[in-house]
Structure 1
Amino acid sequence: VILLQTDVIVNSVGTDLKFGVGLLCKAILEKAGPELQVEFDKEKQRQVAGEGSVVCTSGCALACKSVLHAILPVWDGNKGQTLKTLEDVINSCLKKTEKLGLNSITFPAIGTGGFGFPKTIVSKLMFDVVFKFSSSHTRKTLQDVHFLLNPKDIDNVQAFTIELERRLAENCDAAASQSSFIRPVSTPLLGGNIMQIGAITLQVIGGDITKEDTEVIVNVSNNTFDAVSGVSKAIMDAAGSQVAGECAQHAGQSQSGFITTQGGKLLCSKIIHLIHDNNVNSQVSKVLHECELKMYKSVAFPAIGTGQAGQSPAKVADDMLDAIVEFASKRSVKHLKKIKIIIFQTNMLRDFHESMKKRENSSSSTAGWWMSRLKLELPAQWEDMQEERIKLVNLKPSCQEYLEVQNKFKKTCPSFVIEKIERIQNPFLWQTYQIKASALSTKNKNQNNEKFLFHGTAVSSLSAINYNGFNRGFAGKNAANIGNGTYFAVDASYSAQDIYSRPDTNNRRYMYLARVLTGRYCAGSRGLVTPPPQNPADPTDLYDSVVDNVNKPTMFVIFNDIQAYPEYLITF
């Protein structure tokens, strides 16, 4: 995590605010330098630093722009509020990253170390919170959320992998059936907008809500349901005395924040009377879930909170749309098909129209659809692994896969005899590699970021590489002339030298043909621990790798372990 190219890194600190105690915090502090401790001590005095809060500092000597220090409690066995505290912390980190105008954030498996939170619970919670944030907020800058795990922590790797696979299975069918979850806004008539959100049609129009013929109309009132002004009074007057009588019976008794009455003289069947509070998102969600529960097919809302409550129309529009998008993204929605927002003051239509336009054609505003777009599926040629963490498959010399690898190797090593070629099947490494590939594809647009390169090694390193991938920590074992990273050669003949592919006691040698995300590269130099910046004016925008010769590279060096996948092991 300390070398990952990301805008924000999340760190965890105990409620005693002792810095550098946990393994992650200690590693971050060592890399960032003592300035980070000084800045944290200063900021914890200035910012709120109690349990569940998040203290923001710069990245100091780290490659990131900011570090968010989450103040965590110790797990209480789910007897108190610690799980809710962790949920709030994760959500707060996402909101702060968005508020800072940054594009990416990296979380460790937060709370699963010394704080004692169960790994299966944390994996589910982290996915839940991130996906809910993705679907509920109008994101402008935050695009990438990374979960970075210690590959040696097998329990954590397994917990997150299982959770990811479960969600992929749930969402891939739905994603395949819809190219866009939120369709473009259309304006079929003056003073109105229509948008398709999943299976739900949203219509925002100017008009009089008392004339609506939806199955349900929403009335925003006080806790005695006897509002005497505004839209609420208009609804009650039009509904008649029968509805007023029902409301009087329930005055001051609602436990859920709303009551439901008959429609009275209105065209609707039911009226849901909401007790007003300032959380518009929550109020809309409450009504939508009640409609689905009671199998209502259509509902009409006023612009909640824009009357006497005095809330900003733009904020109300965003909050209402957020709640509707989140609700529509749930696959359990079967009954509610039409939602209308009736704007009494037609000048507010513009605010709602702009909020709708921000979301149109979005397949990524809902985490489920976003997730299905990532190419995280395992390669089709992989053999069934059942519950194995990794699998080495001995390729048949007659198969196309074997011949392709052999040809690449023999191109510069014609005299060596290949004993066997094995395919490395490691789902966790593959998925983390694909996530990085997706991020580079977004960053570098149409550039080809991937190359097949060679890496020679000793028999003693095979198990570690097969399980955990390449480790830049071994830089310098043989040579580090162009940086302290992991080295890959264009030609197999270079990696076949004894100094790299060291013969074992049976005179066998070992070489990987790896997929490597080289991306944009520049010339390397001794002592580099990260690639240099592409633009000196922006020290966080780094090259993706370095080379020995920019015009005709024979050697590539990467500084991020997930930028390479050890696909084939050649024994010769």
Structure 2
Amino acid sequence: MVNRAEHQKKPLKAMREVNAMKRLDHVHIVKYFGNIIKDGNQGPGMYIIYYMHDTKAAKPSNAALASFAAAQQTLLVDHLLDVRTAVFDKFPENIYILSKYKTDVFKELERKHNVKVTIQADGKSVSIEGTRDDNANFGHSLDKHLKDVFHDFHTIDDRARVQHINDDPEFLETVGLKNNCLVVKHVEGDDVQTAVEPEPLQPATSRQTSCLYSVTLPSGTVCEVKRTDITSLSHDAIVNAANGDLQHVGGLAYAIAQKGGSGIQQECNHYIRNYGKLIEGEVMTSSPGNLSCKKIIHAVGPRWVNGVNHEERTLFNCVDNCFLETEKEKMQSIAIPPISTGIFGFPVDLAVKAIVGAIEQREKKNQYLPQLISLVDNKSDSLQLFETELRQVFDKSPPRKASPVKPSSSIKAGPSHSSSSSGTKTLCCILVEVFFLSVLEPTGGAVAGVSEVFIEEETCKLAIYANSPQDIQRCKLDLDTKLDKAMATIIWKDRSGYAADREFIVQLTQNQIRRLKSEADKLRVNLTVDQRNANIKINGRQADVFKMTEIVSAQLKNIEKGVVEKKEEELVALARQWEYEEDGGQWAKFDLSINKALEDTYLKNANAIYSYETSDGAVKVDIGAMKLRCGGTEINVRRLDLSKPQTTELSLPSTWTKPLDVYGEVTIGAGTPEYTAVETAFMSTLGAGTLDDTSVETAFMSTLGARGNSIIEIKRVQNPTLYKQYLLLRKEVAKRLGRQEDQVETTPLWHGTDVDTVSKITAGKFDRGYIGKNAAMYGNGTYFAKNSSYSAQPQYSHPDARGHRYIIQTRVITGDWTKGHKV
């Protein structure tokens, strides 16, 4: 072949005219044919032949050309049409590493196989131009280099970190480039050897009504496992996982009540008023409201307490009672969710065994079963467990396997299959990672604070590609370091205001906790509420953690507000009591909140009318006429002033200083009678003398072992609300005991605490939220000591940063008491 640069190129006729040529010298003509290219300006399959004119060789005659064409036309056309473009993109990650960090590989292969190589912009695929054989040889050579690329996996199993990766599309690329690696989200599975179109991911809505498995029992009953929204089913009955009060305020119960309408809740309220609350294992059947089913069976499953209350047997009986309801109503179909596995905390696997066990027992005993039993949920783990249990009990066949997952080894080389080439672009499947998904199905209304359906990625597996194992290990460390820096953790016990919040954490209801966790799910943060230890932990991305902290703080503030309001209501009830007359002339007390509302209204306008709603309808209280009207019925109302007969006894102590109507702490001057009285009372209980001692400081030092302690200051707590409440409570105790108030024992006792808690107690009260904080030798409760030496111990009165300890003296209404003896 002559050098193209030295000769003039001249186009011959198109190949469709070659058959008109004459005889030529085969050897001679080959020297004049140069490169054969596809003319982009011509139509498909149209090729132009270029030849190089060699001045040292005689130009072939037309007759020679025609002869050559006649003899070699078929071979020549085949050769021309064999030049093609092939695309190699089957293992894009491996190709990327070569194109990014070993560019000399492609240059070497280009020269070796006489092909033109073009690396695509993303670096994850290459196109080549050459003959079929050259392309194939290139592919085999490339495959050997692809196998030299190392890869390993790195699992991120924290949803906050996964969310950070998902929200920052440049995160993986940035970390990879820094460490000479490529980091991508990966799915386990077999290597793809042929070009396969990727299967589109179906939206969640298309899977909501899929039947995953069914089996026909000997009795003819069909049991099916179904992924669906239970509120959309038209079965004869659907089972609602309810609480004993039949208040549908959370989870599935809330979804059913919202979609079914207010009539469901009203019917349940009516049942509770007439028959009382349900106990665990009991069921109640109601109408379906606006739902498509015919009946709703409200089943009260057990709360899980580690099996100590035989919860599995209770759940078994609960499901059996559901079937009894279907028998009584002659129902032919029923849908059952995994009862008690929500906020009741029942382990899903044990719940599934109990539910299927109830079906099995009725089948064995030839008892009534509906023709169709649908075991439904929208979570993959419970559905898989239902299927597995049904197969083991009734089908005896192995459970259906999920998508195959190959165990990953340590760092290993790349793929062993070579890419194929053809005249058209090869379409290769780039796999998409499939992880555990938690899908919240739409229910027609807001469910548990969740206003929309979302798919939450709990974990992800990253594939890391590099030229060396060292690069991969360095990349893993860098990934974890950067993710750690993006995260934050808030532990409520470590916060400065923890002492104030502690009592409200233990008062969180399960419904409130569920709503907080729902908010945490929206923000993709991890929330742990430990009421046993009165602690809350939030972990996730910094910005999201701070948002969640604000939400939790607002919830605790609401509880605090409720606690304060309840204290106010209790105090009002001790001084003013509103009552209504029942049949037979008996008087009944209004609810505390209504009592306070009536008193507040009365103080503003003694002739006003106060209205409120009850389950029986609207109620109006005519304060001026002292009448209550509801549904055409009118009854008498009265207001009792409990403090009026002994108003003077509710007066504040004369030693208090102004202002008297607000809370305050007043430092008592050393040496004053009040200071000395408190000091003496404190010292005497240390066993160093009597109440008549004058050298109280000496006594105090001796009882503490002369360790350099001293009294720093004594403060008087002026809390008019608590003081009046104390007087009224003493009057209440005296009334119960049938004694005069001065005969009720009120003992000055001691309580040691820490600096964060002392103001909470003095401004509020001794609250159950603090029980067991420092010690609880005889069980949970608020502890007081007769001897100050007991409360002065460091484990009760924790020293602050300055080494100061705090002890409260308080008068406690003890009433009658007796001394116990240890058995």
Structure-1-length-normalised TM-score: 0.31
Whichever of the two has the greater Rg, that structure is 2
Structure-2-length-normalised TM-score: 0.22
